[in-house]
Amino acid sequence: MLKSFVIVVFGLFLGLHIQAHATLVDWTEKGNGGDILVCQDARQNMMYDAYETEARHGLKVVLPPVQTANSVDPGNYTGFEDLDEALRIAALILSRVESRDPELSQALLEENANFKSQVYFIPNTKLMPIDDGGIIFLPEGCEVQQLVVQRTPKFATDKLYTVALNYWKTLNIQQKAVAIVHEVIYRKALRDRYMESSELVRYFNALLLSDTVKDWGYAEYRDLYYRVFLFGN
């Protein structure tokens, strides 16, 4: 009798484990990614993270200035011409967490350094939307479009990040940096956990974009870190 009970319990545990694993695989295989806010008037396209930082969280976006802006031929733009400058700005934004969490800062900067070798800018292609946003509002006259899909490579020719070049080239260098920061935070979080939406990633990004993460107390920051990178949704 005891042996049969143990077998039944083990079978139930194994079934739940397989089901959970299948759910995680389905999520990570379909991908995760960042959204761009595309408006129909004269407003400059921007990352949804930047808009949400001010509109939802009431924080002012403070971005490092551009130092080097290479002249770009729109007809021959590949995405790499101004990428180094965007990565430099992204690194400065990511470094804002160093005073609060040096270990996390180092991990994020390493992901940032790897971005260039892991990105594919795909031209003349619209990426299918990924329902990971948890987006609750939009400004009038604007819509959200998929800018980046972050997906674990299946084949030797795959890249971790696929970027819609047609939308990427409409962003200024600072907004490209915001996009990179979003993907880097997401990458770090996905290494350690399953996420149902990118809301927590965007909120952590908001604290970096506004340079307010340094103002958080130890307990507050610890709880936020656990929610973003370890446990909560």
Q: Which residue has the higher pLDDT, 76 or 27?
A: 76
Instruction: Please give the share of the chain, as a percent, with pLDDT higher than 90.
Output: 67
Q: What is the pLDDT of residue 42?
A: 75
Residue 73 in this model has a pLDDT that exceeds 50: yes
Q: What is the pLDDT of residue 19?
A: 38
172 plus 201 within the same structural domain? yes
4 plus 84 within the same structural domain? no
120 plus 184 within the same structural domain? yes
42 plus 62 within the same structural domain? yes
Q: What is the pLDDT of residue 161?
A: 97
18 plus 98 within the same structural domain? no
Residue 24 in this model has a pLDDT that exceeds 60: no
Q: What is the pLDDT of residue 233?
A: 58
Count of structural domains, the chain: 2
Q: Picking from 102-111, 113-122, 125-134, which range would have the lowest pLDDT averaged per residue?
A: 125-134
Per residue in 121-166, pLDDT tens? 999 999 988 876 677 788 899 999 999 999 999 999 999 999 999 9
Interior/surface letters 193-231, b for 16+ CB within 10 angstroms, e for the rest: eebeebbbbbbbbbbbbbbbbeebeeeebeebbebbbee
Residue 21 in this model has a pLDDT that exceeds 50: no
Q: What is the pLDDT of residue 125?
A: 95
108 plus 170 within the same structural domain? yes
Rounded to two decimals, what is the model's pTM? 0.85
102 plus 129 within the same structural domain? yes
Structure confidence at residue 232 as a pLDDT band (50, 70, 90):
low
Residue 1 in this model has a pLDDT that exceeds 50: no
Q: What is the pLDDT of residue 88?
A: 98
24 plus 50 within the same structural domain? no
12 plus 71 within the same structural domain? no
186 plus 147 within the same structural domain? yes
Range of the domain at 131: 31-230
Q: What is the mean pLDDT of the chain?
A: 85
Q: What is the pLDDT of residue 75?
A: 85
Q: What is the pLDDT of residue 177?
A: 98
187 plus 223 within the same structural domain? yes
68 plus 8 within the same structural domain? no
- Single out the residue of 209, 121, 112 nearest to residue 168, CA to CA: 121
All residues at 6 or more sequence positions from 9 whose CB lies less than 8 Å from its CB, including other chains? none
